[in-house]
Amino acid sequence: MDDSVDRYIHYLMVEKGLAAKTIESYSRDITRFLTFSTEKGAAALSDIDTPMILKYLIALRDAGLSSRSRARHLVSLRGFFRFAFQEKQIPHDPTRTVDLPKSTFKLPDILSIQEVKQVLEAPDMESPRGCRDAAMLELLYAAGLRVSELVSLKTGDVNMEMGLVRVLGKGARERLVPIGRYAQEKVEAYRTRARPLLAKGLRSPFLFLGPGGKPLTRQGFWKILKRYAAKAGIAKPIKPHTFRHSFATHLLEGGADLRAVQTMLGHADISTTQIYTHVTRDRLREIHRQYHPRG
C-alpha cells in the first residue's frame, strides 16, 4: 500500500503540479484511511471495497467531522483509487459509486455588481496610497486574483499593450488573464504617479509597495480592503476572496463559458469552478420568484 501511495504522490507532484500543501493534505487523508482499512483487516489495496469506504465515512462522522470535511476525505480517496485503477493496481475503483455527503460545500459569499463598484470607487486617487489601493482593488476584481497572487505581482507582470496580467498561481502554474480598461487605467496611474513616491528611492521588483518601499503583505491588503468596504457602506462580511468569488459569478451570470472561467481562475480541476454554477442557479431561482407572475 505504501508503494501505491508513493506513486500517487509522485504523480501529483510531477504530472499534476499541485501545491505542496495540497499534496500534504491528500497524503494525510489517504494515510488515515489506509490505517483504518488495515485495522479492519485489509492486507492489500485490492482488499478494499465500497462498504469499507462507507464504513470509513461513517467513522469520520461519528468522530465529529463535518460533511464538508468528510467530503474532502472522499475527494482525496477518489483521486487515489482512480489513479490506482488506471494503473491496474486494483481490479475496480471502490469509490466510484460513493456520493459526496450532502451539504458538502458552503456557497461562497459574493458582492453584487453595484457593491463591487462602491468599493472600487472608495479610494482617494489623489493620494499615493489611495492610488495604489485603487489599482489593487481594480486588478483583484478584473482578474479574479487570489490575494497571494496580487501581492506577489512584479512590475512587468501587467502588459498594458495586450491588456493581460501574468499570474503565478498554486503549484507554480502560470496563467495569463485579460484585464479591462478600468484596471489598466488604474494600474498605469499608480505606476507613473504613486509608485515612485512609495518606493522612496528603493529598487523593488514588486508592483505594489507598502511602508518603506517594501512589498505589501497579504495581511496589509486585508486591512486595506476592510477599510474601503466600511467606507463604501458594505455591511456583509468581505475578504479578498469575496472579490474572486464575485468575479467568477458575475462572468457566469453574464454568459461566460465555464471552461473559460476555470482557465482565468487557474483551477486545475473544473469541479472546483462548478461551485459557481450553484450560485448562479440560486440567483436565477430568486429572480424567478421575484419577477415571475406565478413565482
Phi, psi values for residue 2, rounded to 5°: -60, -40
Candidate list 170, 173, 193, 239, residue with the active-site label? 170
Of 92, 84, 50, 113, the C-alpha closest to 249 is: 113
Decide if 228 is catalytic.
no
Active site annotation includes 267:
yes
70 is catalytic: no
16 flagged as catalytic: no
Instruction: Please tell me which residue in 82, 191, 231, 241 is annotated as part of the active site.
Output: 241
Q: Among 70, 146, 186, 245, which one carries the catalytic annotation?
A: 146
The verdict on whether 276 is a catalytic residue reads: yes
Q: How far apart are the first and last CA of the chain?
A: 55
Q: Give dist(CA 285, CA 262) in Å, integer.
A: 24
The letter for the amino acid at 142 is A
> One of 186, 244, 245, 250 is an active-site residue; which one?
244
Lay out the sheet containing 164-168: strands in order across.
158-159, 164-168, 174-178
Neighbouring residues of 213: CB distance < 8 A, sequence distance ≥ 6: 198, 199, 200, 201, 202, 204
Active site residue 170: yes
The catalytic residue positions are: 146, 170, 241, 244, 267, 276
